[in-house]
Amino acid sequence: MPEHLRALAGEPEFAVAWKQRVIARKAEAATITSLVEYRERVIAAYAQEPLLLRSEAERSAAHDAARFFGVSDRTATSILNTAQDARHLLPRTWRTFCEGLVDLPRVRKTIDAATTSDLPAHLLQQLDQAAAEQAQRRRLSEFHHWLTRYIASLDPERYPRACEKETQARFVRFQHLSHGMSYLQAYIPTLEAAAIEKRLKAAARGMDQRSARQPSADEPTTNANARCSTATTPRAAEGQTSDDRNSDPRTLAQREADLLAAWLRDGRVYDAAVDAKIMIMIPEATLTGDSDEPAMDCGPVMDDPRPPSTPPRRRSRGPASLVPGQHTTG
């Protein structure tokens, strides 16, 4: 058993359960191997045909695999490509999968890291050996973080250049399907993606706290805002539908999708918390009570719509009305 499960190895039920898991992984590996060989045989049979026929034969083989797996053509193609790359580039990792010691998600993360890092052959061999061992010991998220650190350590000088080069490949892609839905795919820097993910999840989960709140007069009244400001129960926040006491039947994933679509469509961040810094300059004489000279609002530190040359606005003396967020006075 893996290290994090080894304490349970003495329990006979867990020992049997682990043995069955290994058998299931072996069966999965054998199934995928057979379908990869089927696709390779079909491609080889059309190797001398024109490009159009070769492409159609490859798509047909992937479609047959998708019917067998019971998944979409895209998912089946991803599985077959992962297996084919692992067999050729990471033989040790693939062997541990075939022996039932690791699962397919760990193989996929390893092959993704290997193919996107553009490592030379000798470093790829080191990665294969180390990943085959670590995949058996670590949880999936821990293994993913280990892969990132390990690849960076393999060639410290090459890795920053590879990261910089990869940023040039960023893109946004749309794929419109036939049933009124579309895929929106974006390849962007991880720092940006993580910030978007954090804000999106916080905004979607924050809807749970506004079950009885009515929209104020200054809130947008578009259909998108009406959808995005409907409250949900904590159960829905975990990806389940809400009960009869709540009017919003959407899951957390559905709320995140609706929020992202609304943000991208009109640029408004509905129901998101305000995050701003306000700079207010107050004369020393006013602070000491020797003068009635008003303070000056220098505007937001970031995202200020005014050009830099715009002078600060004069404010009348009195208590300031501040919005929630980060405030700095100077």
Strand, coil or helix: what is 185? strand
Query: Is the distance from CB of 274 to CB of 302 less than 8 angstroms?
Result: no
Higher pLDDT, residue 138 or 213 = 138
Q: How far apart are CA 196 and CA 260, in angstroms?
A: 9
How far does the chain reach from its first CA to its final CA, in angstroms?
A: 60
pTM tops 0.85, yes or no: no
The amino acid at residue 90 is L
Please, are residues 66 and 76 in contact by the beta-carbon 8 Å criterion? yes
Quick: pLDDT tens for 214-246: 444 444 444 444 444 443 444 444 444 444 445
pLDDT in tens, 74-95: 999 999 999 999 999 999 999 9
Q: What is the DSSP code (8-state) at residue 37? A: H
Q: Residue 292 is inside which H or E element, if any?
A: none
Other CB atoms within 10 A of residue 6 CB: 9
Q: Which of 115-119, 174-178, 200-204 has the lowest mean pLDDT?
A: 115-119
Distance (Å, whole) CA 318 – CA 301: 22
